[in-house]
Structure 1
Amino acid sequence: MEKASDDGKTVAIISYITLIGWIIALIMNNGNKTPLGTFHVRQSLGIMCVGVVFAIISGFLDLWILSSIVNIGVLVLWILGLVSAVQGEMKPVPLLGEQFQEWFKGI
């Protein structure tokens, strides 16, 4: 029983390590779904999506200050998510974490 918990924690942590890590975590999680792994796969996907959307918007606006603030915000969300995964907790990231669970419930 403890092994499943370890697998979930591993998936959770890997999901935050770049897009390739997220894909690996998704495949691992699909092979052996755990609540912790699924939760963090969704959180990580949401953080990446927010980062991409805001990068596109700030790129169009060409404001380096806005871009810097957004990048710092996404980094903070990423760190909070990773810390939660390392601790084996299912704490949603601030602002949109609960929404990520709803939006990506098909994962």
Structure 2
Amino acid sequence: MQTQGAQEGKTMAIISYLTAIGLIISYVNNSEKKNSLVAYHIRQSLGIILLFIIVSIFLSAINFLVSIPFLGWILQLGTFVLWLLGILSAGKGLKEPVPLFGAYFQEWFKGI
């Protein structure tokens, strides 16, 4: 059986993946009650959101120059898979980095 704090940490970790608003809610809530699981998933979620923004900007720029069929679909599907893996890890209460970039997200955003 999980303690109330552990369950609340899992809940806030999951909320951090639910749009930028959820990320902000988790960040504000975690600034009051420090929870390492929540902080870990805030960093993962922030990285995934920024990666999605960068992919979107890249796709807009590349589509302006040349049209590459399915490139956008593949890159956005990859970002979605990272998001899904992150939220599943949060739901299990684990600190598993998302593939490829997760370790970098932890390093880059360690101040959070």
Coarse TM-score class (shorter-chain normalised): over 0.9
SS at match of 1:90: coil
> Rg: which structure is higher?
2
> What residue identity is the alignment partner of 1:67?
G
Counting aligned pairs with the same residue, the percent is 45
Residue in 1 that maps onto 2:18: 17
Q: Is the 8 A contact 1:43 1:81 kept in 2?
A: yes
- Which position in structure 1 is the counterpart of 2:97? 92
Alignment of 1:50-65 (within 5 A): 50-62=51-63, 63=67, 65=70
CA distance in 1, matches of 2:32, 2:71: 40
- Please show how residues 25-104 of structure 1 align to structure 2 within 5 Å: 25-62=26-63, 63=67, 65-104=70-109
For structure 1, which segment, 64-73 or 23-32, has the greater mean C-alpha deviation from structure 2 after superposition? 64-73
Higher relative contact order (CA 8 A, sep 6+): 2
Consecutive unaligned residues in structure 1, runs of 5 or more:
none
Question: Is 56-65 or 86-95 further displaced after alignment?
Answer: 56-65
How many residues get paired?
Answer: 107
- TM-score of the pair, normalised by structure 1: 0.95
4+ runs of 1 displaced by more than 3 Å? none
Question: 1 CA distance for matches of 2:4 and 2:34?
Answer: 13
TM-score (norm 2): 0.91
Distance 1:20 1:85 in 2: 17
After superposition, the CA RMSD in angstroms is 1.3
